[in-house]
Amino acid sequence: MSQLIPNSSESLLEGLNPQQRKAVEHRGRGLLIVAGAGSGKTRVLTHRIAHFLSNRELWPSQVLAITFTNKAASEMRERVEALVGETAEGMWIKTFHSTCLQILRRESDHLSQDSNFTVYDSSDSRALIKRLMREAGVEDTDLKPQQIQAAISNAKNELKDAEDFSSTADKSNPRNRVIAEIYYAYTEELTRNNAFDFDDLIAQTVGLLRAFPEIRQKYQKRFRHILVDEYQDTNHAQYALIRELTRPLPEGYENFHPQTGEVLPSVGLTVVGDSDQSIYAFRGADIRNITEFERDFPGAETILLEQNYRSTQNILSAANAVISQNFDRPAKNLWTDAGSGELLTLFTGYDERNEAAFVVDRINEMQQQGVNLNEIAILYRTNALTPPVENELKSQRIAYQVIGGLKFYERKEIKDALAYLVAISNPRDDEAVRRILNTPARGIGAKTELKIAQLARSEDLSFQQALLKTSELGLGPKLTSAIETFTELLASLRDQLEIEQPAKILEQVLSGSGYKTQLENSRDPQDEARVENLDALIGQIYDYQAQNPEGSLTDYLADVTLASAQDDLDEESGLVSLMTLHTAKGLEYPVVFLIGLEQGTLPHVRAFDEPGGLAEERRLMYVGMTRAKQKLVLSCALTRTLFGSQQSMMASSFLGDIPEELIDTVGERRGGSAPKPVSRWQGAITTPSQLRDNDDLQLVAGDRIHHDSFGEGQVIEVNGNPPRQTAEIRFDSGQIKKLMVKVAPIRVLK
C-alpha cells in the first residue's frame, strides 16, 4: 500500500495548525470535530483519510466518506486524490442519498422494487400526489399537493411509513385523515411504478440494515471507518443510518480479522460539524445529533477548530458578536491571523429599489476596480427579495445567475426527454409513460389516458402493459394506430439499451418521437431555446459517459435526480451569484452582499412563533456573514412593498448585535421625517451604462451583418417599425435569432 501513497505520514501533517494536526492523528472509535466556518474542515478530513492509508491502518475500500452535496463530494474526492493518487478510486466518497442508492441497487433482492428502480425527484413526487388527490376527490380541499408532500417527507425522515403515520396522527383533524389516505396511495403507486422517492433512499436503507443483520454485517465488514461532513444538518433518518453502520453487531454476526481470527472492533466514526451553522430544522435536521454526540457514542472525543482561513478579523468579530447571543451553544470564538481587513458596510435604503440600486452600483464600482463578477454573491433570506435586484442588474447589463431557481433539469423539455429515458429504462414507471403519451401531440387526450389507466388497474397491469391491450377499448382506428406507433417506438428504443449508450438513445428518442422536429419547426422563440436546451442535455450525457464509462442509463437517471441546487453553480462563468442563505451554506466569496435585513425577513416572521426559531434565524445570519472573505456589505430598507402596498420596516435586531466600531454606515438615516423617494442611490454611480441605440440602422432581407456574440449572418426578414422593429437573422453557425434592431449589438457588413 505504501507505494500507492505519494505522501508520507509526517508530510501529511505539515502546514496544519495544532488542533488540525490533533484531529488528523486522533485514534479511537469516535471523533467529533467542531469546525467553525472557514476553519479548514475539508483539509482535516482529507488529510485524516490519507493518514489512515499512509499508516496502513485502512485499505481505500474500507473508507466511506459522506457529504450532503455532490459539489462537496467532488471537492473531497479531488483533494483526496491529490494526496493519495489513484488509490482514492477504491473509496466511497458520496452523498447520503447516493450512498444509499448504491446499497439499495446492490441489495434489491430484499426489496419490493427491482434493481432498475426509478428515483423520483421533488417535482415527480408532487405530480404523483396531485394526481392521487384528484382521483381521491380531495383536490378541492384547503390542502395543497406540496403540503401533503412535505408531511410525507417529514414522516419518512422520522422513519414513519404510511401505517406508522396513520396510527400516530390525530384522526380528529380532517387534514391528517387526507394525508394518511394519500400517503397509503402514494406508497402503493411508488411500488407499482418500481420507484422510490428521494426520502425513501435513506429510510429504505435503514429498514434494510435493521431487518437483515447479514446485510449490516456485510457493510460493516466493508467500511471500517466512516466520516460524515456537516453532521449538524443530519435528520433522524440520516442519524439512524450512521448508527446502523457503526453500532455493534448482534451475536452470531460478528466480523473477524482474516489473519488473527479476532472479533473486529466496531466501525470507527469521524463526524465534522458546527452547531452554529445548523440551519435546516425545516428539513428535519436535529441539532441534538451534534450537541449530544458524546452521549450517543461513549468514549468519543471532541476537538475544536477555531482558526479561520477564510475571512478577515472584522468579519469574524461581527459574526461572533451575532452568534454569541444564542444560548446553550458550545463556547467558540473564530479568529484569524489574516489581519483586520475592511470595515463592514451597512446601507439603509429608502425602499427596495433604492437598496437594489446601491448594491448594483457598488458591484459596478468593484468591477471597475478589477473585481471579477464570479467573486461576488448576493444573499437573501427569501427568493421574494430578488426582483428589484434582478431588474437593476439587467438595467446595468451585469450578468448574473440565480442558484436554486428553476434548475436546468426542471425545465419542461428536459423533463419530457428524461421521461422518455425513464420509460425505456423502467417500463413499470407509469408516471413517466403518462407524461410522454401525448408528447409531442399524438391526438391522445385525457379521456383516453384515463380509460387506459382504468384498464391497467382492473387487470393489475402497468400503464405501459395496458397500452398493448388498448384494442380492447374500442378507441377507433386513428387512436389505436397512434398508441401502437408510440408503443413500437418505446419497444425499439428499449432494444437499443444493450448496444447503445445513453446519449445515442436520447438522440434516437428526440428524432424518432418527432419531439425535436416539432420544436425546430415552431415559430415560437422560446421553442428555439428549448432545442438548445435539449442539445445541451445530449452534450451533458456525453460528458457523463466520458467520466463514467461503465455507467448505465439507469445510473445516469439516478445521478440527475440526486443533483442539488449548488450543482447549478458555475464558478467560472463570470456571473454574479444570487442565492438564498440556505443555498449558500458551504460556499465562500471574496465579496458578499447580504440584503433585506429587516424584522420579519431576517429574522423571519415565522421564527417568533416556533420554539428555537429565533436561534436558528441567528445561525442563518451567521452563516451568511461567514461566506465573505474580504468584504461584507449589509443592507436594509426603510420601506418595502409587501402584498401590494408599501410598508414601513424595522432594521433586523441582529444588526444591533454588531459593534458600531466594525461598521461603516451609509445611506438614509432612521428617525425623523422620511426623505423623498429617489430612483437611484445618491452617492454611488448615478447613471446606468449607456444603452446601444441603432435608430439610424436600416436593414432589409439579404443584408449581411455582424453580431458581437453570434458572429456573421444574413437577414432573413424584417418586421415592424422603429423603435420596435425586429429582424430575423440566420447566422453562419446555423442558429436563427430574432433581434430587436434598436438595441442589438449588430452592424451591417459592406
Known catalytic residues are 41-42, 229-230, 277, 627
Does residue 440 have a cis bond before it (omega within 30 degrees)?
A: yes
What are 254's three cell numbers?
460478528
Are 592 and 633 in contact by the 8 Å Cβ rule? The answer is yes
Answer yes or no: are the C-beta atoms of 246 and 255 closer than 8 Å: no
Cell of residue 118, nine digits: 426509478
Instruction: Give the Cα separation of 392 and 386 in Å (integer).
Output: 10
CA angle 506, 508, 514 (to 5 degrees): 105
C-alpha cell at 483: 398508441
- Sort strands 92-95 and 225-228 into parallel, antiparallel or unpaired: unpaired
Q: How far apart are CA 626 and CA 621, in angstroms?
A: 9
Beta strands in 276-384 (DSSP E): 301-305, 344-349, 376-380
The neighbouring-strand residues paired with 227 are 65, 270
Task: Report the residue count for the chain.
Answer: 750
- The whole-angstrom separation of Cα 646 and Cα 373 is 32
d(CA 622, CA 275): 11
Helix axes 502-512 and 553-561, enclosed angle (nearest 10): 90
Pairing state of beta strands 301-305 and 30-35? parallel
User: What is the Cα–Cα distance from 549 to 304, expressed in whole angstroms?
Assistant: 42
DSSP β-ladder status, 726-731 and 645-648:
unpaired
Residue closest to 59 by CA, chosen among 97, 88, 101, 35: 88
d(CA 19, CA 381) in angstroms, rounded, equals 34
> Please, is 211 exposed, middle or buried when counting C-beta atoms within 10 Å of its C-beta (0-12, 13-18, 19+)?
exposed
The cell for 736 is 436563427
Give the count of beta carbons closer than 10 Å to the beta carbon of residue 708: 10
Q: Is the bond into 6 cis (omega within 30 degrees of 0)? A: no
Q: Which set of grid coordinates corresponds to residue 139? A: 383536490
| Among the listed residues 580, 567, 627, 621, the one whose alpha carbon sits nearest the alpha carbon of residue 599 | 621
Nearest-angstrom CA–CA distance, 15 and 21:
9
Q: Computed from CA positions of residues 190, 480, 527, 500, in that sequence, does the dihedral angle turn out positive or negative?
A: positive
Residue 301 per-residue DSSP state: E
For 685-700, what is the HEC assignment? CCCCCCCCCCCCCCCC
Tell me which amino acid residue 231 is: Y
Classify burial at 422, counting beta carbons within 10 Å of its beta carbon; exposed 0-12, middle 13-18, buried 19 or more. buried
Contact yes or no for 50/211 (Cβ under 8 A): no
Other CB atoms within 10 A of residue 515 CB: 21
Amino acid code (one letter) for 508:
Q
Please report, in angstroms and rounded to a whole number, the separation of the first and last CA atoms in the chain. 69
Question: Which residues, at least 6 apart from 258, have a Cβ–Cβ distance to it below 8 Å?
Answer: none
Q: How far apart are CA 231 and CA 346, in angstroms?
A: 33
What values do phi and psi take at 175, rounded to 5? -60, -40
Q: Are 733 and 711 in contact (CB under 8 A)?
A: yes
